[in-house]
Amino acid sequence: MGWFAALVLIWSTTALADTVLEGRVVGVTDGDTLTLLDAAKRQHKIRLAEIDAPEKKQPFGTRSRQSLGDLCHEKHAEVRIVDSDR
């Protein structure tokens, strides 16, 4: 049974790759993480790939979060999933 569960987990993660989500950005956690609300009113936590931004409590963390918010908060976004985190 453990083998089957592992196989399903690998398959479902692979199936998410190259999936596109569309919705409105409703929150910005920090300089590389945002929350997307899709048409079905489900929230998705999105971590931006290949972006390294300071965490909230690090120097410039607040400014980094503000900058991402200025760019995308309350705007329509299309997100291409390249990998899935826990």
Q: What is the largest CA-CA distance in the chain?
A: 48
Query: How much is the average pLDDT of 58-76?
Result: 95
pLDDT of residue 5: 41
Nearest to 29 by CA among 47, 51, 52: 47
| Domains defined along the chain, listed by start | 2-81 (2.40.50.90)
- In sign, the C-alpha dihedral spanning 47, 28, 44, 3 is positive
Nearest to 85 by CA among 59, 53, 49: 49
Which pTM was predicted? 0.75
Q: What are the pLDDT digits (tens) for 25-44?
A: 999 999 999 999 999 999 99
Residue 52 has pLDDT above 80, yes or no: yes
Average pLDDT, the chain: 83
Question: Are residues 46 and 37 in contact, defined by beta-carbon separation less than 8 angstroms?
Answer: no
